[in-house]
Amino acid sequence: MLDISPITWAVTIGLIVVLLAVDLLLAALRPHHVGFKEATAWSVFYIAVAILFGVWFGMQYGNAAGTEYFAGYIIEKSLSVDNLFVFVIIMSTFAVPDHHQHKVLTFGIVLALIMRAIFIALGSALINSFSFMFLVFGLLLVYTAIQLFRHRDEDPDVESNLMVRGARRFLPVSGDYIGGKLFAKEAGRRVVTPLFIVLIAIGSVDLLFALDSIPAVFGVTQEAYIVFTANAFALLGLRALFFLVKGLLDRLVYLSLGLSLILLFIGFKLLLHWAHVDVNTAVPEIPTPLSLGVVIGILVVVTIASLIKTRANPEERAHAGSLSATKKKEPQD
């Protein structure tokens, strides 16, 4: 295990908090439409920060640790793109005004960081105490991969989300966004705005993605510090990336297929590691450099194949994929 000092942890968390604060301030103080140039600049900045951190980390703690970080970062970044896809669906479903999308995205990123930090702490404690957790995480990823593959051409049904339906049933909801407030008064009574419902939908999505992404990154490293930083740096640039790629997401028609293959591969990697530790040391393990190569290879092939497919068939549209069958809406009479 790496010897990460409390000072290193504190400085790292401080850096992430500062970067997150910049995002929060930009969203709160200057709500505006984010253009392509601005989104590109911020995306390049966050990716550069993540790469520079990885280079420093590799120089400080060795090439093996650096490779684990970059493998984890790329896995989390690829999963975050699918997370973005669902964010786009939520924004469209609830017709979130363009100037309020900053607020929703920032909330989603903050909540995702909090949830993943909790799951990282729990996952790390469980893995350190019970080696069979590698079997549990591996089976979870294999199941998720199979479900995502089966429903790769569907989108999650946001309106049928249990938390969203519960909020709509028990809370009075206003007819419009009322200046981007969460709570307001309408006709003399206290109501929640649609933005509150949107945040509930985003929160439930963050929970589901945390359940998948943490076991996935534990598939390439058991170092809690690497798991945390890979997740944090992958999520920090999510707001800018949303505005950069939301027009291109429709063209990534094989994204869900690619992500299902990545999750399946990492799931088998965890199962092999469990068998190596608990069953027989003769069972081979998949090295991290190979994992990194496989993940990058799948993403490259998926992206190129998607662009070729949509160029030949412009009417093709990508789907975020779902873990369960989406109910077909009955046509209105």
What's this model's pTM, rounded to 2 decimal places? 0.81
Kindly indicate the confidence band of residue 333, based on its pLDDT and cuts at 50, 70 and 90: very low
123 by DSSP, 3-state: which? helix
Q: Which two tokens stand for residue 166?
A: 């519960």
What sign for the dihedral angle of Cα 164, 153, 304, 267?
positive
Out of 96-100, 140-144, 290-294, pick the least confident: 96-100
Is the predicted pLDDT of residue 43 greater than 70, yes or no? yes
Q: How confident is the model at residue 280 (pLDDT cuts 50, 70, 90)?
A: confident
E strands present in the chain: 183-186, 189-192
Distance between CA atoms of residues 205 and 94, nearest Å = 15
Is the predicted pLDDT of residue 41 greater than 50, yes or no? yes
- 216 pLDDT tier (thresholds 50, 70, 90): confident
Lowest mean pLDDT among 3-7, 96-100, 309-313: 96-100
Please list the helix, strand and coil fractions of the chain in percent, rounded to the nearest 5, in that order: 75, 5, 25
Contact 239, 39 (CB under 8 A): no
Which of 57-61, 170-174, 187-191, 235-239 has maximum average pLDDT? 57-61
Does position 271 have pLDDT exceeding 80, yes or no? yes
* Helix (H/G/I), strand (E/B), else coil: 24: helix
On the question of pLDDT at 332 being above 60, the answer is: no
63-93 and 238-245 helices, crossing angle to 10°: 60
% of the chain beyond a pLDDT of 70:
94
Per-residue pLDDT at 5: 92
Mean confidence (pLDDT) of the chain: 83
Position 52 scores a pLDDT of 96
Q: How many residues does the chain have?
A: 333
Please state, in angstroms and rounded to a whole number, the distance separating the CA atoms of residues 39 and 190: 37
Which residues make beta-bridge pairs with 186? 189
**pLDDT, tens digit (0-9, with 9 covering 90-100), for 223-267:** 889 999 998 898 887 877 877 777 677 788 898 899 899 999 999
